[in-house]
Structure 1
């Protein structure tokens, strides 16, 4: 348990701090044995209390977090003590959730807790990579360099992710637009044509009858279809939150033609850059593998990394364990093997990440050049087929009148 204490020394100096003990009586006894007078002792954690008042469900924006780390690294480089640096930075945080976290971290560090342990108490807001990097910086005495390396890592990884997302936005918007246009034609336009043709009392062509039947079926079951769509969305979200289902989906994604190769390269790049960042901070390989495996967005690759970590812990080379799984590109396995042989594993991992980042950008560019005209052609064919089916009776009537 943690207690906030107000203490006085024999010379009359008063100080406050947060201490950890099994019970209040044990803490009092420990402080009195040190010659301190306990003026006040409360079982309270003001930093966490502020966090709860601000809403524990809130989020810390990535930009805010990176700016904080950059400023902390600058203050440490200027020679300012860690506690004083945290105290200065926490006062200027507008986000109440982030301020609550930093208040708690400040109190813990001031009472003697390591910075990595203080942040590790907030797994909802910080990643294992960050806490592992802080631990490496504390052990090596290079906390400022580790913070800057972490900021650079997040910025590079974020830039790659933004490129991938932006490349997929246009095809997604074009697909949704196509579905919307087809839905409007089927639900709104087809019934009006059907009412118009009903006045002639003639049998419609097969294509027109099929479109009309489809429209009538969708309109009659529209509430049920809407309910099924909503259920599918929530059901899909629930399934994705299940680790086993998410792992199966990620495995299927890796097997898709075209996109599967890009997803595999992105996971390999993400893993390599994370591992290189941790190794650069002085973290042992086995620990770095364990932390890096939890940072990979593809759950199937993460599961494979768990087995690889176990094999490396038992003494097997990393390249051999990766090759045995068969989930990583051959180029990356060969480069890891060279890095292990030459003692430059960190440099090779960074080279792997840079290589695949460039390759992903090139492949996404080719994918867009191919998928955009394909989507436009498919959308044009579908809409043209619908319109021809609707106007076919008019063409036949014109031929009969001629």
Structure 2
């Protein structure tokens, strides 16, 4: 019996519905692998260590016992100890992981496929590789946006300080002299006065806006239109889409290489992904495939996927090598993503420094203009 037919024997599982994420969650939880207790790093270590131990000839029970004994955190130790005890009772690993509630449908189903087909070691290494890549991507994105965030926050603090302390000092000096102030100086002074008078109101408005956005982040309409807005932001939108394309290709490659049927793989993707445009695409893929259409025909409806993705998907379906096609695409998109992040980093640093410098210089020039005028009047 072929591996594909064996894969179909694995019973389906009912996974809890993935949490709906906001359009701005791509830095944190773009794809949810369920696991309120186990983080990506912990899962990567678990799959990597388990695969290594099994490859060295250690039986499953002993491998789980070793993994459990090396854990120092109480919650982590409890989770893996439960897996070990289930193995003693005769449960297989996939059922034990599923009953624990700390592993996603994708993980349990893939491990089940590995157990049924005798490819468990390979599946474990592939899942570990996926989590490793996901951690790497997340760090890259966090590093990309950390510097701009620090610069922007610093600039805001500098502006607040100048508006609250520096500008009022100059205002006291200017009050002693008669005469009309330059337009730029008057504008900065008016802004400073308004800022000082209404600072609390501005702060409350900002808090209210942030609270409203936070409360609406899971609403369907907010996620839909928020996602569209993010994708229209220059550079950022491209990075977001490219990040999801990498993860889509890599996850589909893992699922299909494990001989999971295409329709089942699409359903798993729909549960794991939490970015609205891709959720909609996965839902449409499932409907179209059930009605006899190919993945390429369904994908052609969406602008999320570029022409390269669509063309190679068509080729992959025709030659029945979709998993290899997606593996190759995943590497290509990841290289493109890293290149774009590098360009963004090289451009953001000088642009932000120049912007902050010009803004501070503008305030200082506005304050010194009247003094220049007064000094010229005495010449």
Quick check: TM above 0.5? yes
Which of the five TM-score ranges fits, normalised by the shorter chain?
0.7 to 0.9
Distance in 1, matches of 2:176 and 2:99, equals: 74
- Out of 218, 222, 236, the position equivalent to 2:213 is 236
Picking from 63, 71, 76, the partner of 1:93 is: 71
The one of 309, 321, 338 equivalent to 1:332 is 309
CA contact (8 A) 1:273 1:349 kept: yes
State how far apart, in whole Å, the 2-side matches of 1:371 and 1:281 are: 41
Partner residue in 2 for 1:260: 237
2:202 maps to what in 1? 225
Give the 5 Å matches for 1:382-393: 382-393=359-370
Residues 1:208 and 1:235: Cα distance change in structure 2 (over 3 Å):
same
1:186 aligns with 2:163: yes
Of 317, 341, 345, the match for 1:368? 345
| CA apart distance, 1:132 | 2.3
Structural mapping, 1:305-316, within 5 Å:
305-316=282-293
In the TM superposition, residue 122 of structure 1 has moved relative to its aligned partner by: 4.3
Structure 1 residue 181, shift from structure 2 partner: 1.8
1:65 correspondence with 2:43: yes
1:164 aligns with 2:136: no
CA contact (8 A) 1:248 1:300 kept: no
TM-score by length of 1: 0.79
Secondary structure of the corresponding residue to residue 80 of structure 1: coil
> Can you list the C-alpha shifts for 1:144-168, whole angstroms capped at 9, x where unaligned?
2110111112112322332232222
Residue aligning to 1:102: 80
The correspondence of residues 172-211 of structure 1 with structure 2, limited to 5 A, is: 172-211=149-188
Q: Please list, as runs of the form range in 1=range in 2, the aligned pairs for 1:78-89 lying within 5 A after superposition.
A: 78-89=56-67
Corresponding residue for residue 3 of structure 1: none
Q: Which residue of 1 aligns with 2:189?
A: 212
Asked if the contact 1:271/1:295 (under 8 Å) is kept, the reply is no
Question: Deviation at 1:186?
Answer: 1.3
Residues 204, 357 of structure 1: alpha-carbon distance in 2 compared, 3 angstrom cutoff: same
Runs of 5+ unmatched residues, structure 1: 1-56
Superposed CA deviations along residues 219-276 of structure 1, whole A, max 9, x for unmatched, are 1222222222233333332222435423432222222233222322221111010010
Structure 1 residues 393 and 327, CA, compared in 2 at 3 Å: closer, same or farther? same
Aligned residue pairs total: 345
TM-score by length of 2: 0.84
- What RMSD, in angstroms, separates the aligned Cα atoms of the two structures? 2.2
* SS of residue matched to 2:70: coil
Q: Confirm or deny: 8 A CA contact 2:40 2:131 kept in the other structure.
A: no
Per the alignment, residue 8 of structure 1 pairs with none
The offset of 1:398, in angstroms, is 0.7
Please state if 1:113 is matched with 2:113.
no
The aligned counterpart of 1:129 is 106
Which residue matches 1:15? Answer: none
Q: 1:238 to 1:149 in 2, by over 3 A?
A: same
Q: Does the 8 Å contact 1:191/1:215 carry over to 2?
A: yes
Preserved CA contact (<8 Å) 2:41 2:132 = no
Q: What SS does structure 1 have at the residue aligned with 2:226?
A: helix
2-structure distance, mates of 1:312, 1:109: 38
1:104-135 Cα deviation digits (max 9, x unpaired): 33333433433223222344x43332222212
Higher relative contact order (CA 8 A, sep 6+): 2
Q: Secondary structure at the match of 2:159?
A: helix
Residue in 2 aligned with 1:302? 279
Name the stretch that deviates more: 373-382 or 302-311. 373-382
Over residues 250-305 of structure 1, what are the superposed CA-to-partner deviations in whole Å (9 max), with x where a residue is unaligned? 22222223322232222111101001011122211111111123333533212211
Query: 2:118 aligns to what?
Result: 141
- Are residues 144 and 98 of structure 1, via their aligned partners in 2, closer, same or farther at CA, if it must alter by over 3 Å? same
- Alpha-carbon deviation of 1:188? 1.6
Provide the C-alpha distance between the structure 2 equivalents of 1:132 and 1:351, rounded to a whole number of angstroms.
Answer: 23
Tell me, in whole angstroms, the C-alpha distance in 1 between the residues paired with 2:66 and 2:359: 62
CA deviation after TM superposition for structure 1 residue 191, in Å: 0.8
Distance 1:221 1:117 in 2: 60
Does residue 291 of the first structure (1) align with residue 268 of the second (2)? Answer: yes
Q: Which residue of 2 aligns with 1:14?
A: none
Cα pair 1:267 1:297 within 8 Å, conserved: no
Give the distance between the partners of 1:245 and 1:122, measured in 2 at CA: 33
2:114 and 2:180 map into 1 onto residues whose CA distance is: 81
